[in-house]
Amino acid sequence: MTGRGSWLAILVTAVYVFLIAPMAIVILAALNAGDYLAFPPQGLSLRWFIRAAHTEPFVRSFLFSLKLAAWVTVASTLLGTAAALYVVRHSARFRNLLRLAIVAPLQLPAILTGIALLIFFLATGIGTRGMRALFIGHTLVSLPYVFLTVSAVLAGFDRSLEEAARSLGAGPFTTFRRITLPLIKGGVISGALFAFITSFDQFPVSLLLVSVGNTTLPIQLFDYLRFSFDPAAAAVSTVSVLMSVAIVLIVDRLVGLQAVSWGAQ
């Protein structure tokens, strides 16, 4: 058992190193004092962070991605939570079919989803590119995360608490607001967190739907690296990584990471 446990510890350590190493390399490359994107860094400096902060396309695309991700998070959270409540509690005959339809974007390569959306927008005339198209596309690929996390919480939900509230005179809305929502908030917050990160870092869908003046940060980084190969791109990527970490820490501070686990109550 000891030998098997040692091999398991080595395997887990290797997996963590594999996952963390790319982020560590990007952060160290962002601190490179040299003129080119290289690893290991040729000294340490913050000058590329300063340059990125004064590069107008980076600042504009960063703010646009924040705004887009915020709207997508709101829409995905509301629609995903409502869909989870309906599928888990009210849908019986078509439950599996509805579940598969909602999580379908996770089962397909994102680039195929982007192509399908582009063809759909061209065929319907809704508008092929821009904020509206990006909002619809990002919501489509972010909503399944909210749906899955809220569904996981609802699967083990004790409905006797709601019945007790209704028997004491609480209406449906009051029961949901004071009983149901506080007990499923872990799944809702977890799904919203995933939705925000998914939208902010979305590349394949954005690549096909962006327009002039509506460029997301990942697309701006892609365009920048086509013509420039300096650590400014790594500095912007580092800010994106640190922002994702900060979101997790804020959630942990407010509700605790255990509250946003898949099976949290």
The encoded tokens of residue 131 equal 């904020």
DSSP-assigned states of every residue in 29-87: HHTB-SSS--SS-SSB-SHHHHHHHT-HHHHHHHHHHHHHHHHHHHHHHHHHHHHHHHH
Q: What percent of the chain has pLDDT over 90?
A: 18
Global pTM reads 0.84
* pLDDT tens digits for range 32-91: 887 777 777 787 888 888 888 888 888 999 999 999 999 999 999 999 999 998 888 877
Q: Which residues contact 172 (CB under 8 A, 6 or more apart)?
A: 166
Identify the residue with better confidence: 73 or 108.
73
Residue 260 clears pLDDT 70, i.e. is over it: no
What pLDDT score was predicted for residue 129?
66
What pLDDT score was predicted for residue 265?
41
* pLDDT tens digits for range 117-147: 888 888 887 666 678 889 999 999 999 999 9
3-state secondary structure of 211: strand
Residue 168 clears pLDDT 80, i.e. is over it: no
What pLDDT score was predicted for residue 95?
81
Let me know: does 196 contact 72? Beta carbons within 8 Å: yes
Identify the residue with better confidence: 250 or 16.
16
What pLDDT score was predicted for residue 264?
44
What pLDDT score was predicted for residue 61?
92
Full set of structural domains in the chain with CATH: 56-260 (1.10.3720.10)
Residue 112 clears pLDDT 80, i.e. is over it: yes
Identify the residue with better confidence: 125 or 203.
203
